[in-house]
Structure 1
Amino acid sequence: MNFLLGALNPIAFTLGPIEVHWYGIIIASAVVLAVYLSVKEGRKRGIIDDDIYDMLLWALPFSIISARLYYVIFQWSYYADHLNEVYRVWDGGIAIYGALIGALITVIVFCRKRKIPVFLMLDVIAPTVILAQGIGRWGNFMNQEAYGAVTSLEFLQKLHLPIFIIQQMNIQGAYRQPTFLYESLWNIAGFIILFCLRGRKNLFKRGDVFLSYVTWYSLGRFFIEQMRTDSLMLGALRVSQWLSLVLFVGAIAMCLLKRYWQPLEPWYLEGITKYDNK
């Protein structure tokens, strides 16, 4: 088969001197969808809309900053000699785990200030966060990032991928494993599972939806990260693999300990209860 298509243009359009990238459009669209779904679910659990909107105003900038800091810290051997590039986020170099850590800290602080149960808020937003992550990976696709090892055209064709994906995986003269796609599908599958299960009675205690998200995401990320060639390394494993391993074990342990030490923890479906200091 003869492919005539070239790589997709990462720039969607220009506004004078400003270039608007598909990466930003895709990420922004994912965030808007996540907020919309979180607000709808939050209403059912007794969380008012403004709490979610206000939390987002704090979480977005902090998550971007922490995502960049995470990347810079593990690439300090380069940035130590290029301090003027530390803030150049538009040149690439942000880490999703860094963004999640920053967002988590923001949610915890915000909820404690507003006297909202932290785990309940995390339960509400967790499924939409993993959906946004799944959509966001297509921004990496447009930038030809988050790819895997060199592979063959025949292998990609056997995956029955659309031509535009196959051609976009031709990076620097070689076809690459579409690891962005593997993670996107894994994340969207996680969203579907959590979305379908969280409405069942007597299944999830408060905090279980969030911990299930952490378990699911970290499990997939551990194996998919091993396939990538652009990852930050730390010893024998990639940085994200180490963190995925810690999160996977930690989430399962916390879920079991919560069931043992807090058997009277409210069910997720109860939402805000009279015992919560709202």
Structure 2
Amino acid sequence: MNISATAIINRIAFTIGPIMVHWYGIIIATGVLLAVILSVREGNRRGLDEENIYDYLIVGLPISIICARIYYVIFQWQYYSANPEMIYRIWDGGIAIYGGLIGAAITLIIFCKHRGISSWEFLDIVAPTVIMAQGIGRWGNFVNQEAHGVETSLAFLQNTLHLPHFIVQQMCINGIYYQPTFLYESVWDIAGFILLMVLRHRKQLFKRGEVFLTYVMWYSFGRFFIEGMRTDSLMLGPLRISQWLSFIFFFSALAIWIVRRQKFDQPWYLDQNAVKK
């Protein structure tokens, strides 16, 4: 069968009157919902009132989405300056994870300071679920046929990667097959989620803040190499901008881990009442 001739997945999941509901939004919302459920469960174990998670979500989610879009638009300004009416069309794709994470982290720090909560502990609670949501969210890129890699062959997708038919056909864009970098990052993110969930409750393994720092290092390490395979990101010297950020975040998190272990007496993550400052 000629895969390139088969139908690709429609970006529109369904319509309600004049309203078109996109798969991209459904997938992102699913990741966020699961992240909130798991974060609330862990927060209850750690003595964090679930209302704090809900209240942060009300503020942090829209800010992170706005920051993710602003970041994307800035680095694709040549296109958006010529097509300003497309700037707000976030449902067509085009949000940058790093922009969203930066916006969400800054908002969280301010929120925790206002509530008298340890921002490190809050970050430890939500970090595994955030990377899980990122892994789920990459499937929105899959539906939109974006965030893919360089050209490849049908044989590579079918016989080397042994991908199912629906992924292979979606990676055929205008008759050309592309590397499914969305899939590589999704697998890497879900693996990081599993790792953090397995290790987080090991006694005397993580100190306060180190679950979050592990998340930063894990995600940045994988993103550095996967980003190098993509074709839709901007270059800054020999590397892509997201690769530079991955490099900076990885070594910054590693340095912070080392300094905090050597210079500061931090409670263990599993210590009671560690959620307070």
In the superposition, the TM-score normalised over structure 2's length comes to 0.95
Map 1:55-74 onto structure 2 (within 5 A).
55-74=56-75
Partner Cα separation in structure 1 for residue 85 and residue 157 of structure 2: 40
Match of 1:229 in 2: 231
Q: Which residue identity lines up with residue 184 of structure 2 in the other structure?
A: Y
Partner Cα separation in structure 2 for residue 238 and residue 247 of structure 1: 14
Q: 1:43 to 1:163 in 2, by over 3 A?
A: same
Are the equivalent residues in 2 in contact too, given 1:119–1:207 (CA < 8 A)?
A: yes
Partner Cα separation in structure 1 for residue 141 and residue 243 of structure 2: 19
Range with bigger deviation, 234-243 or 212-221: 234-243
Match of 1:44 in 2: 45
**Aligned match for 1:247, one of 237, 246, 249:** 249
Cα RMSD after superposing both structures: 1.5
Match of 1:163 in 2: 165
Please state how far the C-alpha of 1:188 moved relative to its aligned partner: 0.2
Partner Cα separation in structure 2 for residue 270 and residue 113 of structure 1: 23
Please state how far the C-alpha of 1:75 moved relative to its aligned partner: 2.3
Q: Which residue identity lines up with residue 55 of structure 1 in the other structure?
A: Y
Match of 2:187 in 1: 185
Match of 1:137 in 2: 138
Structure 2: where are the runs of 5+ without partners?
A: none
Please state how far the C-alpha of 1:42 moved relative to its aligned partner: 0.5
Are the equivalent residues in 2 in contact too, given 1:5–1:164 (CA < 8 A)?
A: no
Match of 1:211 in 2: 213
Are the equivalent residues in 1 in contact too, given 2:24–2:93 (CA < 8 A)?
A: no
Q: Which residue identity lines up with residue 200 of structure 2 in the other structure?
A: R
Match of 1:30 in 2: 31
Q: Which residue identity lines up with residue 129 of structure 1 in the other structure?
A: V
- Deviation per CA, 1:101-125, whole angstroms, max 9, x where unpaired? 1110111011111111000000000
Secondary structure, counterpart of 1:121 in structure 2: helix
Match of 1:265 in 2: 266
Structure 1: where are the runs of 5+ without partners?
A: none
Please state how far the C-alpha of 1:273 moved relative to its aligned partner: 3.8
Are the equivalent residues in 2 in contact too, given 1:120–1:271 (CA < 8 A)?
A: no
Match of 1:117 in 2: 118
Partner Cα separation in structure 1 for residue 177 and residue 169 of structure 2: 8
Secondary structure, counterpart of 1:8 in structure 2: coil
Q: How many residues align?
A: 275
Are the equivalent residues in 2 in contact too, given 1:44–1:271 (CA < 8 A)?
A: no
Match of 1:196 in 2: 198
Partner Cα separation in structure 1 for residue 172 and residue 66 of structure 2: 31
Please state how far the C-alpha of 1:237 moved relative to its aligned partner: 1.3
Q: Which residue identity lines up with residue 122 of structure 2 in the other structure?
A: M
Please state how far the C-alpha of 1:11 moved relative to its aligned partner: 0.8
Partner Cα separation in structure 2 for residue 13 and residue 245 of structure 1: 40
Partner Cα separation in structure 1 for residue 24 and residue 16 of structure 2: 16
- Deviation per CA, 1:176-203, whole angstroms, max 9, x where unpaired? 0000000000000000000000000000
Please state how far the C-alpha of 1:77 moved relative to its aligned partner: 3.3
Partner Cα separation in structure 2 for residue 93 and residue 136 of structure 1: 12
Partner Cα separation in structure 2 for residue 75 and residue 176 of structure 1: 21
Partner Cα separation in structure 2 for residue 184 and residue 153 of structure 1: 21
Q: Which residue identity lines up with residue 68 of structure 2 in the other structure?
A: A
Are the equivalent residues in 2 in contact too, given 1:127–1:195 (CA < 8 A)?
A: yes
Partner Cα separation in structure 2 for residue 85 and residue 19 of structure 1: 17
Residue 175 of structure 1 pairs with residue 215 of structure 2: no
Partner Cα separation in structure 2 for residue 53 and residue 127 of structure 1: 17
Q: 1:149 to 1:197 in 2, by over 3 A?
A: same
